[in-house]
Amino acid sequence: MMRSADGFTLIEVLVAMTVMAVMAMMAWQGVDGIVRARDANQSRLEQTLRLNSVIGQWEQDLGSIQDSGVVPPFTCDGSTVRLTRRSEGGMQVVAWALRPDTAAASWWRWASPIVTTVGELQDSWLRTQQFQGGEPGQLRALEGLTGWQVYSYRAEWANCQSTGDVAPPAVAISGPIRADLPKGVRIVLTFAPGSGQNGSLTRDYLVTP
């Protein structure tokens, strides 16, 4: 017998709509997964680039150490690394420190203005002895850390946090300062969970006077 009319039954339409809804949901989940993966990869890439940039700045500071003869060229007291570096037009004092943050800790860098006189260099050095955090000119270089360790190499590797490679007292700096540069500096950064980095990072740098 021939069908009396062309068309689809209600059941057929409902089945087709159900299949289309399931396929649309599967397609949406696939697109959402791709977007999430792209965002995660982009975030990891940005974090890696940021880390490389900060490590590059750290190594550039170490590579530009200049002995002025009036302030120590490099000291580490366990909480802060201080050094004097040559810059275009004069010298700078640079301080690196790890300070607690909301969830973990952040690595901060402070650089003084470029100076050309002994008095200005001494003033910049003494300023670093009085840092409490939040001073103008400080830059949060890296976030998501739980700790750092700094080692200096002379006859052997020594942990600055335990040996106290300490700068002279901050009350005054007078007379020539004998340079006691380490031959190498090692830094170990430990990353917090969820920071985008895993475990710890160790970098050694050869210091050349």
pLDDT above 60 (res 178): no
Q: Residue 92: which domain range?
A: 43-206
Question: How many distinct helices (H) and strands (E) make up the chain?
Answer: 3, 8
Instruction: Tell me: pLDDT of 163 over 60.
Output: no
- Computed over every residue of the chain, the mean pLDDT equals 81
Q: Does any domain span residue 80?
A: yes
- Top pLDDT among 181 and 133 is at 181
Evaluate whether residue 1 is within a structural domain.
no
The Cα–Cα gap between 177 and 121 comes to 13
Structure tokens that stand for 17 in this block: 């709509």
Q: Give the pLDDT confidence score for residue 197 in this predicted structure.
A: 80
Q: Is residue 178 part of a domain?
A: yes
The conformation of residue 196, written as its DSSP 8-state character, comes to: S
45 beta partners: none
Would 4 be classed as within a structural domain? no
Q: What is the pLDDT of residue 164?
A: 45
Residues 6 or more apart in contact with residue 172 via CB below 8 angstroms? none
Q: Contact at 8 Å (CB) between 150 and 81?
A: yes
Q: Between residues 82 and 44, which one has the greater pLDDT?
A: 82
* Angle at CA of residue 130, ends 125 and 133, nearest 5°: 115
Per the domain annotation, does 6 fall within a domain? no
Number of domains in the chain: 1
Beta strand 138-153 with 184-191: parallel, antiparallel or unpaired? antiparallel
pLDDT tens, position by position, 110-154: 999 999 999 999 999 988 887 766 677 788 899 889 988 999 998
Report if residue 16 sits inside a domain.
no
Task: Say how many residues make up the chain.
Answer: 209
CA pair distance 85, 60, nearest whole angstrom: 9
In a domain, 94, yes or no: yes
With 70 as the cut, is the pLDDT of residue 59 above it? yes
Is position 8 within any domain? Answer: no
Cα distance between residue 57 and residue 59, in whole Å: 5
| Percent of the chain's residues with pLDDT above 70 | 81
pLDDT at 167: 38
For the entire predicted model, the pTM comes to 0.73
The predicted model gives 70-94 an average pLDDT of 90
